[in-house]
């Protein structure tokens, strides 16, 4: 194996900080600490500065480890592969105008499979037609199984790729471990959707994973990618048996997680961009969010432990819970009266808030400080983890727990407090009341879908938090309309990585 096959150039992940003359790396998602040898630190510094990446075995091992961990990302070098190696697969149902736009924007493909999934009016250009709708998973399976090329590009009919997206994404497959690459999915400018939906989608689309590249893995900043646009090695799909056709929603999350569980890498590559038209009406948009929520329960059965509504340490939960009680109403209801009576002293109430927060901040800081991270940076990680835990719990209240909390006065106060992060977000982005209302409607619709899915599947797994005895670090990203949630997880400490000296 030569390093040139893996990457010709690399960049550090934006979260990574280097200490101890570059020998200590802290960052990534989930956050981890990696110690390098002096030779490894010199190699990495040269690569990040744009220097050539050698082909010796030591360099190969180091780069492989850094790429797999998500601490560095490859810079795409377009031109290494041809569009003739890719089959375009388009599932379509009742969207002839969108299909026409997509086909006009993808003339580079010599191989196309159009799957008409039971449209009311048959699609004239369809390669495969289902007499009745079988769902997106079945349509995509029918399409990729017809292909004979090494790669398959799944693109939905309401998507329009921007020029250059395919060449840029294909370049990442020079790494043989990469099984799938996802471009960034943004809202198109000047969309015909109603103003409120379009404005909200432009800043908070459930399909847009952001501007930073990432290794896609569960419980990380980019925990999934949508199949609205996704390029996959056909052999990897065949290895899995394709998409799970029993899933009406969430089939994209499931296939990505199964790819990563099988040892493959899935990369999010925002340098490649496609645009996606949002739902045309507010009602259809809310229904989409509700449907996304219903996927949490069946996904939790297939992937146990990955759908907790919040993932925080017990110390964080204790501190934030004590703060809510301390800020509770002057006339508490029966549910909170006992707690307030047990902590009438301001000192006791303050201690109940401050002591767990200090412990949750100090423990990870001490752990990092002993491994080469400066005290100030270690404390910043600990404090950031505590804040992340609070945001994760607030997110769980808004997107999961609010229906049962509204029955008590303390619960209603908790729901009200959970709105503060959304309010701050609206104010910082200079967004108006309409955006704030859309944000709440988004999360409420998703929450109702989660509850409906749990009742249907008879499982409470997506409704329960994952409380751990460890300490918190920083959150993984949570998309507003997916089964993934923000989490605060403990920094992972790896052994020193060796490189040729």
CATH no. of 3-74: 3.90.930
CA atoms within 13 A on the CB side of 107: 4
Q: How far apart are CA 118 and CA 105, in angstroms?
A: 24
Sorted by where each begins, the domain ranges of the chain are 3-74, 83-279, 311-493
Q: How far apart are CA 363 and CA 357, in angstroms?
A: 10
Q: Are 316 and 360 in contact (CB under 8 A)?
A: yes
Confidence check: pLDDT of 441 > 60: yes
Q: How far apart are CA 369 and CA 221, in angstroms?
A: 24
Q: Are 294 and 456 in contact (CB under 8 A)?
A: yes
Helix, strand or coil, per DSSP, at residue 176: coil
What mean pLDDT, rounded, does the chain reach? 86
Confidence check: pLDDT of 474 > 80: no
Predicted TM-score of the model (pTM): 0.87
Confidence check: pLDDT of 159 > 80: yes
Strand 10-12 with 72-74, pairing: antiparallel
CATH no. of 83-279: 3.90.550.10
Summarised one tens digit per residue, pLDDT across range 26-65 is 999 888 999 999 999 999 999 999 888 888 888 899 999 9
Helix, strand or coil, per DSSP, at residue 88: strand
Confidence check: pLDDT of 480 > 50: no
CA 378 vs. chain centroid, Å, equals 25
What integer pLDDT is reported at residue 198 of this predicted model? 78
Residue 38 preceded by cis peptide, ω within 30: no
Q: How far apart are CA 365 and CA 386, in angstroms?
A: 12
Summarised one tens digit per residue, pLDDT across range 290-327 is 999 999 999 999 999 999 999 988 888 888 888 877 77
State both tokens at 445.
């619709």
Residue whose structure tokens are 């769902």: 135
Summarised one tens digit per residue, pLDDT across range 101-144 is 999 999 999 999 999 999 999 999 999 999 999 999 999 999 99
What integer pLDDT is reported at residue 349 of this predicted model? 62
Stretch 391-402: mean pLDDT = 93
Summarised one tens digit per residue, pLDDT across range 63-73 is 999 999 999 99
Residue whose structure tokens are 């950031």: 384
């Amino acid at each position: 194996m030569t390093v040139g096959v893996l990457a010709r150039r690399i960049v550090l992940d934006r979260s990574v900080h280097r200490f101890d003359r570059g020998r200590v790396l802290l960052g990534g998602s989930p956050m981890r600490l990696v110690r390098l040898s002096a030779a490894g630190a010199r190699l990495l510094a040269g690569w990040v500065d744009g220097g050539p990446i050698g082909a010796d075995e030591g360099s190969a091992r180091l780069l492989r480890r850094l790429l797999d961990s998500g601490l560095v990302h490859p810079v795409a070098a377009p031109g290494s592969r041809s569009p003739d190696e890719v089959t375009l697969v388009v599932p379509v149902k009742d969207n002839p105008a969108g299909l026409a736009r997509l086909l006009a924007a993808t003339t580079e493909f010599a191989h196309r499979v159009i799957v008409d999934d039971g449209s009311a009016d048959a699609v004239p250009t369809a390669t495969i037609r289902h007499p009745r709708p079988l769902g997106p998973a079945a349509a995509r399976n029918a399409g990729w199984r017809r292909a004979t090329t090494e790669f398959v590009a799944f693109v939905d009919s309401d998507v329009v790729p921007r020029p250059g997206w395919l060449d840029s994404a294909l370049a990442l497959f020079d790494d043989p471990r990469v099984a799938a690459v996802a471009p960034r999915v943004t809202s198109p400018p000047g969309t015909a959707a109603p103003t409120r939906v379009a404005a909200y989608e432009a800043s908070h689309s459930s399909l847009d994973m952001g501007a930073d590249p990432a290794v896609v893995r569960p419980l990380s900043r980019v925990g999934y990618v949508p199949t609205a646009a996704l390029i996959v090695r056909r052999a990897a799909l065949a290895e899995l048996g394709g998409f799970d056709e029993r899933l009406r929603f969430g089939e994209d999350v499931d296939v990505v997680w199964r790819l990563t569980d099988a040892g493959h890498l899935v990369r999010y590559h925002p340098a490649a961009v496609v645009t996606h038209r949002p739902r045309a009406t507010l009602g259809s948009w809310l229904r989409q969010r509700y449907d996304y929520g219903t996927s949490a329960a069946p996904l939790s059965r297939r992937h146990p432990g990955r759908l907790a509504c919040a993932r925080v340490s017990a110390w964080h939960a204790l501190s934030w819970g004590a703060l809510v009680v301390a800020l509770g109403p002057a006339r508490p209801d029966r549910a909170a009266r006992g707690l307030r009576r047990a902590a009438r002293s301001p000192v006791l109430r303050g201690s109940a808030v401050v002591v767990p927060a200090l412990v949750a901040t100090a423990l990870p800081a001490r752990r990092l400080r002993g491994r080469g991270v400066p005290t100030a940076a270690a404390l910043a990680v600990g404090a950031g983890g505590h804040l992340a835990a609070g945001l994760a719990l607030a997110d769980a209240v808004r997107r999961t727990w609010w229906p049962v909390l509204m029955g008590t006065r303390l619960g209603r106060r908790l729901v009200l407090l959970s709105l503060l992060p959304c309010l701050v977000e609206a104010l910082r982005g200079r967004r108006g009341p309409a955006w704030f209302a859309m944000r709440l409607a988004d999360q409420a619709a998703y929450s109702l879908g989660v509850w409906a899915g749990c009742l249907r599947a008879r499982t409470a797994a997506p409704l329960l938090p994952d409380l751990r005895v460890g300490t918190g670090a920083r959150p993984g990203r949570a998309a507003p309309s997916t089964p993934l949630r923000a989490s605060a997880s403990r920094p992972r400490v790896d052994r020193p990585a060796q490189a040729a000296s």
